[in-house]
């Protein structure tokens, strides 16, 4: 009957799996297309995943760069005897102003690439009490890409007193040895159970830990004067925090 014939067709289609269909499609393409085209299709199929990942990574970078351009287009920072003001933006203009006597902390960040180019990123923190008085939700002002001379000028404007520290503190050598010891523990499995390339990785890891811990110890310092505290730390990604000391 017609109903039974339909059931048989449904049973036949359910027995055919997707791998069979793909193999049949490839066989058809191998017959219809020349051998050179088949090799090209196989290469493109293998490259599809890395090309897709690279496309999305590139798209993310472009979107991030576009956002930075739109936000910081025409960026201007003005320092006066009373306040610090920053204006910028392309589609949406913004203006931030903080009185100098309300500045509580200045934070400086820079990675290895930024130091090679010659600029730093600064964050000016406003006192919490002042933000509560004027009803502002944010208490910090981020200034990207300041050159060395501009950074020094900003520091002088915010902390215009004598900058020579009364006390300078550094961590004890035991801190450096303890930090290096715990990080070297990760190389023990490679030393005892590894061979060849594993030993090479263990030696490279120990050299890296020794150099990095030494540099971190050299960069970590705390300067205390009568008007401010300055904390510096980090090696590849350096960070310096200056806070008004009352």
Nearest-CA neighbor of 178 among 213, 219, 220, 211? 213
Measured CA to CA, the distance from residue 121 to residue 74 in angstroms comes to 17
Q: Look-up: residue for tokens 């300055």? A: 230
pLDDT, one tens digit per residue, over 217-236 is 888 888 887 777 888 888 88
pLDDT, one tens digit per residue, over 170-195 is 888 898 899 999 988 888 887 777 77
pLDDT of residue 167: 77
Residue 84: Cβ-neighbour burial (10 angstroms; 0-12, 13-18, 19+): buried
Give how far the C-alpha of residue 59 lies from the chain's centroid of Cα atoms, to the nearest Å.
17
Measured CA to CA, the distance from residue 228 to residue 246 in angstroms comes to 8
| CA trace torsion 39, 42, 48, 50 (10° rounding) | -80
How does the average pLDDT of the chain come out, rounded?
77
Measured CA to CA, the distance from residue 86 to residue 141 in angstroms comes to 8
- In sequence order, the β-bridge partners of residue 67 are none
- Does the reported pTM lie above 0.85? no
pLDDT, one tens digit per residue, over 55-103 is 899 999 899 889 888 888 888 888 887 888 888 888 888 888 888 888 8
Measured CA to CA, the distance from residue 234 to residue 179 in angstroms comes to 14
Give how far the C-alpha of residue 138 lies from the chain's centroid of Cα atoms, to the nearest Å.
22
Lowest mean pLDDT among 37-41, 161-165, 206-210, 227-231: 161-165
């Amino acid at each position: 009957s017609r109903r039974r014939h339909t059931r048989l067709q449904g049973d036949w289609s359910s027995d055919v799996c997707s791998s069979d269909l793909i193999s049949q499609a490839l066989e058809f393409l191998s017959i219809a297309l020349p051998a050179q085209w088949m090799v090209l299709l196989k290469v493109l199929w293998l490259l599809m995943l890395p090309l897709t990942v690279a496309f999305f990574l590139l798209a993310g970078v472009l979107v991030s760069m576009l956002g930075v351009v739109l936000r910081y287009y025409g960026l201007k920072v003005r320092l006066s005897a009373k306040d610090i003001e920053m204006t910028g933006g392309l589609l949406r203009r913004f203006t931030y102003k903080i009185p100098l006597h309300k500045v509580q902390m200045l934070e400086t960040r820079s990675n290895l690439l930024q130091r090679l180019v010659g600029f730093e990123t600064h964050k000016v923190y406003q006192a919490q009490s002042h933000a509560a008085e004027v009803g502002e939700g944010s208490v910090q002002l981020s200034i990207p890409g300041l050159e060395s001379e501009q950074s020094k000028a900003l520091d002088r404007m915010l902390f215009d007193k004598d900058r020579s520290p009364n006390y300078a503190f550094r961590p004890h050598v035991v801190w450096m040895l303890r930090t290096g010891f715990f990080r070297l523990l990760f190389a023990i499995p490679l030393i005892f159970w590894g061979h060849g390339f594993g030993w090479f990785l263990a030696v490279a890891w120990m050299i890296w830990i020794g150099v990095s811990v030494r540099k971190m110890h050299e960069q970590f310092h705390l300067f205390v004067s009568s008007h401010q505290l300055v904390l510096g730390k980090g090696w590849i990604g350096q960070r310096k925090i200056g806070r008004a000391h009352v």
